[in-house]
Amino acid sequence: MGHLSVVSPPNTIELKNWHLDGRDITESEKRIKHLHGLFKDEESYNKLHPETLVYSVQAHHPVPEGTPGGLFFGTTIVQPGRVGTEYFMTRGHSHLNEERTEYYWGVQGEGILILMNKQRETWGENIFPGSLHFIRGFLAHRVANTGPTQLIFGASWPADAGHNYDDIAREGFSARLMEVSGKPTLVSI
């Protein structure tokens, strides 16, 4: 970059599916074998092929993790599927820096953003192409695919938010998203 220069940006987004290209992008995949203990029905979990893909994440990290004022940007694809009657979903997390917020938005497919506050009240927001979700601070968040096709959503979060997976691993959310009478339903645990 130089004074008065006009250059191409280092990154692009494929607007059909929000696939990210360019520099500083990490990719991760979560398969059934990586998600032990996440789903309620262990018998159904054990019947699925361990290599079954559940979700994948691309994240653009233009600054180091923890940089005050920095932003990260990601695209997540959750595959269609269920473990028993529970929909395929992300692990879910809250932020280590608990007041940090985040945007999610729907790109393709249908799903539900599951949110839980510190009082362990859990509720959902429908995700669809064009839906916009502002995730307030102090909320645990996770996304389930409730449709027959891939669910793609975008996300942007502060570089100093951090991921807290331990609380969810220990206590879980207070409700699970299950198919009940053919409909996605939050069921108290």
Which one of 35, 39, 87, 102 is in contact with Zn ion (CB under 5 A)? 102
Query: Which of ligand M6P, Zn ion, none does residue 172 bind to, with CB < 5 to 8 Å depending on kind?
Result: none
Q: Which residues of 2-11 are buried (b: 16+ CB within 10 A; e: fewer)?
A: eeeeeeeeee
Dihedral sign of CA atoms 67, 73, 75, 76 in order: positive
Q: Using the minimum distance from each CB to Zn ion, give the nearer residue, 86 or 102.
A: 102
Tokens read off for 128: 């669809």
What's the token pair of residue 110?
């249908």
**Looking only at residues 31 through 90 of this chain, which bind ligand M6P when binding is defined by CB under 6 A?**
57, 74, 76, 90
Tokens of 92: 């879910």
Site residues (CB under 6 A) for ligand M6P, limited to 117-176: 142, 155, 157, 163
Q: How many residues bind ligand M6P (CB under 6 A)?
A: 12
Between CA 81 and CA 134 the distance in angstroms is 26
Q: Which of 60, 93, 100, 176 binds ligand M6P (CB under 6 A)?
A: 93
- Contact residues toward ligand M6P (CB under 6 A) are 57, 74, 76, 90-93, 102, 142, 155, 157, 163
